Structure 1
Amino acid sequence: MRGSFRRDTAETEVEVFVDTEGSGSWEGETGVPLLDEVLHIIAQASGFDLEVRARGDLLTGDHHTVEDVAIALGQVLAKLVDAGIGSSSVPSGEALAFAAVRFGEAGCRLDVDFLGDFLEGMELENLGHFMRTLAYNGRFTLHLRVSGGDDWQKVEALTLALGRALEGAVMDGSMDRKKVTDADDLQLI
């Protein structure tokens, strides 16, 4: 399934393309190195082809760019996926993260604490904001938890777990649609 979404505001211009039946390729640039890496990891872990182009007013900080990329990506996912559940636990160095996703109802619970405030051009509090905004705009419930490790290990484990949980939810939703289609094809004698 393929979809795209464009969001233009006073602060940003964002365009997102997603193919949930892709090969995990990533292409794009947001101007925020950590956000680019997060999107790259999500694409690889989910198997989605993901392209994101964003221009934002980075002189005022990364908040608007991070938020608007999450809104655009969430909007695409909401158009493509209406049901499905997936979860994953992923280690990275000394960090261990857990992610659970359920499409159909928006919600978010984060249990994420970072040691520092800033990493690779991004305020780390905005990573949580990205995840929450993604879930609400994508119309899915998201639970994320991470413990141990340094900030980079936490970010990597969280995004890998999220990508794998998204992949599982899309596969689960596809299987549910196939079951309904198969049931519709049954003929009772």
Structure 2
Amino acid sequence: MSRNSNVSRKTSETDIAIKMNLDGTGKYNISTGINFFNHMLESFSKHSMIDLDVNAIGDIEIDDHHTIEDIGILLGEAFLQAIGNKRGIKRMAHAIVPMDESVATVAIDIGGRSYCNMSLDFKNDKIGDMTADVVVHFFESFAGSAKLNIYGTVEGANDHHKAEAVFKAFAKSLKEAIKIEHDQIPSTKGVL
């Protein structure tokens, strides 16, 4: 079973193309126009072992909100397409990831319902060239289109470390949740 996807979306604000392979080796080619966000998606790909190509052109001369939001939406769509009927997946997983003085916890459920609860308290308005408060919105956008639950917290002093720990914890929990463990739909309903 191939768990790949290739999606694109063009609006008046963004033009995005994404390729995803859930059973990859962590290879990535990321170009969003937002350097810190590139770094976060590269970390996500490397630590989830999901191969990821993201090519995005957005109206970042206004700000980074539309680009990051639309990438979140499209990544979720790519994930939903690649995961298929979810037969055999572990479904639920969590990860705790430290990074220097910071530590992040992320739990997910690929259960077919969208919900996101991220408690991320950044001290500064920007992390590198990325707006800090759009990190939560990225995860909300992903959860909405991927139809999964994401719950995350982070503690620490350095915003860079906190954001990176969250993306890595998300990667590790997703990597675990998409593992094929059996040949059943992991739900008492029989569908996800």
TM-score when scaled to structure 1?
A: 0.90
Q: Which residue of 1 aligns with 2:109?
A: 102
Q: Which residue of 1 aligns with 2:8?
A: 6
Q: Distance in 1 between matches of 2:145 and 2:37?
A: 18
Q: Distance in 1 between matches of 2:92 and 2:67?
A: 28
What are structure 2's unaligned runs of at least 5 residues? 186-192
| Contact 2:21–2:82 (Cα < 8 Å) also in 1 | no
State the Cα RMSD in Å: 1.2
Q: Distance in 2 between matches of 1:127 and 1:33?
A: 14
Write out per-residue CA displacement over residues 135-187 of structure 1, whole angstroms, 9 at most, x where no aligned residue: 1111100001001130011011101100001101101xx224x256xxxxxxx
Q: Distance in 2 between matches of 1:34 and 1:131?
A: 16
Q: Which residue of 2 aligns with 1:170?
A: 178
The percent identity for this pair of structures is 27
| Larger gyration radius, structure 1 or structure 2 | 1
Q: Is the partner of 1:115 in helix, strand or coil?
A: coil
Write out per-residue CA displacement over residues 104-151 of structure 1, whole angstroms, 9 at most, x where no aligned residue: 211011111001010221110011110111111111000010011300
Alignment of 1:27-176 (within 5 A): 27-81=29-83, 82-83=85-86, 84-103=91-110, 104-171=112-179, 174-176=180-182
What are structure 1's unaligned runs of at least 5 residues? 181-189
Q: Distance in 1 between matches of 2:26 and 2:130?
A: 24
Q: Is the partner of 2:181 in helix, strand or coil?
A: helix
| Contact 1:20–1:49 (Cα < 8 Å) also in 2 | yes
Q: Is the partner of 1:160 in helix, strand or coil?
A: helix
Post-superposition offset of 1:80: 2.0
Between the two proteins, the alignment pairs up a number of residues equal to 177
TM-score when scaled to structure 2?
A: 0.89
| Contact 2:30–2:41 (Cα < 8 Å) also in 1 | no
Q: Which has the higher helix share?
A: 1
